[in-house]
Structure 1
Amino acid sequence: MSAGLLAGMRVVEAAAFVAAPLGGMTLAQMGADVIRIDTLGGGLDFHRWPVTEDGTSLFWCGLNKSKRSVALDLQSPQGREIAMALACAPGDDAGIFLTNFPPRGWLDHDKLRARRADLIQLTLQGDRHGGSAVDYTVNARVGVPGITGDPRGAEPTNHVLPAWDLVTGQMVAVGLLAAERHRRRTGEGQHVKLALQDVGLAVMQHLGFIEEARRGQPRQRHGNELFGAFGRDFACADGERVMVVGLTGKQWRSLCEALGVQQEVDAIGTRLGLDLSEEGNRFRARRELGDIVGRRIAARTLADLAADFDRLGVCWDRYQSLEQLVRDDPECSPANPIFRRIEQPGVGDMLAAGLPLDFSAVPRVPAAPAPRLGQHTEQVLHEVLGMPAGEFGRLHDAGIVAQAT
């Protein structure tokens, strides 16, 4: 068993796609025993792209590391009965259930709570009314594609990073831990509901986007420029591109010193009547500042620039491709403690990321492979439900349970 911070906690998960599996994996990578309930042949995301040449989903493997898998025929009454028994199994550190499927049938909270009164269930929904939504539709709803991309463009610009899924996945983990703490203090279970769309709306308000629009000043497109301060991409003499940021006063002073532009910057401030020590004024003067910064960067190679930037503590980085990241960057390798090489079933050698959190009280839990579908069916049913080998064999022969070989 894991020696992580959450060692001993058991979470049962019936989920697909990003946010809910990410929440479960986050708990698993802190040491919890997270048991996936999988359908025979795999669920909705079992073949989700990207995939290997033979069709193994890198997506599924990436979001289910360190979990155990139980494969059941959930179309059958016996399979559903086993699933409910797992979700409601006894134990002070058990009775925690996570799903992003509609809470009906065997997933209905009232049915599950009838078996275990202190059950903690977190149901992730698309919207607060129980409707369907995914990251792309939430992004469209909250207006982000309209302020993303080329300032001259009129069409919405989607992006590939599922921001709301990622934030929601972490809130799934936080919500379950908060409910578990409440149960320890009071003995009470509860049904926690979380809507992907509400996460998007909340974050938009937290960051000021909603209030800007309410005040008649909706955010505009600014391309690659950092809103409200100075930051942008620039090309070096050798064609390499860098992102530089002068958000804080120290970052801005370091950038000016590294490029030797302080006198020119002061002249711009005088001409425009702006105190450029204030970050908002640097945004107002971004065109003029970008011209002088761009000229200085364009006159130097990346290697030359990097030496001065690093020496003076400039906030910057080089643009690199995914191929460059995995081939050349030591931070994306086992030199970084979050990574290790594992043997992933169906994939082979894989570079796997563990939990980014580094707790001083316990050592890191190394990244572990995602399970084969049904890899732990017999083990879990024996450990959690006390199922004898003969009963498991009977259910296996009847096609109610499946065991990976």
Structure 2
Amino acid sequence: MSDILKGLRLVEASAFVAAPLGGMTLAQMGAEVIRIDALNGGLDARRWPVAGTGESLFWSGLNKGKKSVALDIASPEGRELAERIICAGGDDAGLLLTNFPPRGWLDYDRLKARRGDLIQLTIQGDRHGGSAVDYTVNPAMGLPFLTGPDAANSPVNHVLPAWDLITGQMAAVGLLAGERQRRRSGQGQHVKLALEDVALAVMGHLGFIAEAELGSRREPAGNHLFGAYGRDFVCADGARIMVVGLTGKQWSALVQATGIADRLPATEARLRLDLTQEGDRFKGRHAIDELIAPWAAGLTLSEAAVALDAAGACWGLYRSVDDMVRSHPNCATSNPMFARVAHPGLGEVLTPGIPLDFVGRDRLPPAPPPRLGQHTEEILLGVAGISSGEFAKLHDRGLVLTG
């Protein structure tokens, strides 16, 4: 089994996307990830999308494979129990992931006084600790003005919370890096990760910042691939496909599949472009569109697919989410990443594990999310070290919840 992180214990106090995703990433590699929630659940316990029962598909999807402890964290006794769970354990424990303000029972210095080698990773909105979410950070990056039709007069928000997703993965990397450093030095640390900084860093990595500093103003390109050639086309039966000629090989394959080779010299001469160069393909994109559009419009999807596949072209079919679930060959249990798993309150759902494939090791099967408080007794007795009698008293006083 690819439980490559077996033995590692992480405590998570979180909500929404980035932090839960970071914790789940580690859980799906075999780490023991313990969620600490309030008695009525986390802030995102009922986040849409929801099933007809009201169960959050969002929460269920981002907390697979974790253990749930539900405490009255508004009470001193509940906060004390939370701190004991965070700071308990041996060399493979003492890791905390949160996107809540690091104060009170989540204050690093307070926790460090109990466990000197604690590793805490705190996800923040900005580097000053201010509030921000993907839907406020992304507008500040300028990308909504580049998304949408060519002549867009207003910004178009992206439906995918990209910065949250990158931040979640980076949180997992940061925790593992901190744990490696602790193994070498014996020292813990407080790692801060700002959502806005993640976005700014990526904008720099992809050349957006340098482009703006050097005086270039990028305009929205609609469904065209920026900087090379790629665009969507409608086939004779109404199916929509995306074709890409980013690399030289992809471009040659697309030219072969669409049969436009003999018309390219005249296009290049007229536009004074060399279409073997990816930048020139972007400059000449509209002329290339005019060559490919009749080819696509004259073929059904199956006919276009045969031609594109025979040439080894890079292309994809536009599907609705419903279509993807029904017909995408890799969104199925034939893909070893997936299994059908019973989720609490939802029934059996097609469920992904981690995309990483550790060659030579079997995949860890996808696990369901926990019920709220499902592991409260197990963790308080086995990790926090309280007795069964103490647990009974806490339960009777309504300070803990068992799922």
Is residue 166 from structure 1 mapped to residue 165 from structure 2 by the alignment?
A: yes
Q: Deviations over 1:150-194 (max 9, x none)?
A: 121211110110000000010000000000000001101000000
**1:361 positional shift:** 4.6
Show the counterpart of 1:351. Answer: 350
Show the counterpart of 2:152. Answer: 153
Show the counterpart of 2:209. Answer: 210
Which amino acid letter does the alignment assign opposite residue 344 of structure 2? P
Q: Deviations over 1:201-222 (max 9, x none)?
A: 0001110111111122122111
Mapped partners of 2:145, 2:272: distance in 1: 32
Q: TM-score, normalised by structure 2?
A: 0.99
Structure 1 unaligned residues grouped into runs of 5+: none
Structure 2 unaligned residues grouped into runs of 5+: none
SS in 2 for 1:342: strand
Which amino acid letter does the alignment assign opposite residue 101 of structure 2? P
**1:83 positional shift:** 0.3
Note the 1:156-195 alignment, pairs <5 A.
156-195=155-194
**1:270 positional shift:** 2.2
Show the counterpart of 2:273. Answer: 274
Is residue 124 from structure 1 mapped to residue 123 from structure 2 by the alignment?
A: yes
Show the counterpart of 1:296. Answer: 295
Which amino acid letter does the alignment assign opposite residue 157 of structure 1? V
Show the counterpart of 2:94. Answer: 95
SS in 2 for 1:23: helix
Following superposition, which runs of at least 4 residues in structure 1 exceed 3 angstroms of deviation?
Answer: none
Which amino acid letter does the alignment assign opposite residue 284 of structure 1? K
Is residue 10 from structure 1 mapped to residue 9 from structure 2 by the alignment?
A: yes
Mapped partners of 1:124, 1:219: distance in 2: 31
Mapped partners of 1:154, 1:30: distance in 2: 45
Question: Does the CA contact (< 8 Å) of 1:209 and 1:218 recur in 2?
Answer: no
Note the 1:210-289 alignment, pairs <5 A.
210-289=209-288
Mapped partners of 1:362, 1:119: distance in 2: 31
- Count of residues paired in the alignment: 403
Mapped partners of 2:329, 2:294: distance in 1: 31
SS in 1 for 2:290: helix
Question: Does the CA contact (< 8 Å) of 1:11 and 1:96 recur in 2?
Answer: yes
Q: Deviations over 1:304-340 (max 9, x none)?
A: 0101211221000111111111111221110111111
Show the counterpart of 1:134. Answer: 133
Mapped partners of 1:250, 1:34: distance in 2: 44
**1:386 positional shift:** 2.4
Mapped partners of 2:347, 2:392: distance in 1: 30
**1:3 positional shift:** 5.9
SS in 1 for 2:330: helix
Mapped partners of 2:301, 2:360: distance in 1: 41
Question: Does the CA contact (< 8 Å) of 2:149 and 2:220 recur in 1?
Answer: yes
Mapped partners of 2:38, 2:360: distance in 1: 38
Question: Does the CA contact (< 8 Å) of 2:2 and 2:358 recur in 1?
Answer: no
Mapped partners of 2:327, 2:147: distance in 1: 30
Mapped partners of 2:108, 2:174: distance in 1: 16
**1:274 positional shift:** 1.4
Question: Does the CA contact (< 8 Å) of 2:10 and 2:34 recur in 1?
Answer: yes
Which amino acid letter does the alignment assign opposite residue 304 of structure 2? L
Mapped partners of 1:380, 1:84: distance in 2: 13
SS in 2 for 1:385: coil
Note the 1:303-322 alignment, pairs <5 A.
303-322=302-321
- The structure-2 alpha-carbon separation of the partners of 1:371 and 1:303, relative to structure 1 and needing over 3 Å to count, comes to same
Q: Deviations over 1:238-273 (max 9, x none)?
A: 111000000000000001101111111122112222
RMSD between aligned residues: 0.9
Identity of paired residues, percent?
Answer: 61
- The structure-2 alpha-carbon separation of the partners of 1:356 and 1:3, relative to structure 1 and needing over 3 Å to count, comes to closer
Mapped partners of 2:272, 2:384: distance in 1: 74
Show the counterpart of 1:368. Answer: 367
Q: TM-score, normalised by structure 1?
A: 0.98
Mapped partners of 2:8, 2:157: distance in 1: 38
SS in 1 for 2:368: coil
Question: Does the CA contact (< 8 Å) of 1:50 and 1:57 recur in 2?
Answer: yes
Question: Does the CA contact (< 8 Å) of 1:5 and 1:362 recur in 2?
Answer: no
Question: Does the CA contact (< 8 Å) of 2:241 and 2:317 recur in 1?
Answer: yes
Show the counterpart of 1:51. Answer: 50
SS in 1 for 2:249: helix
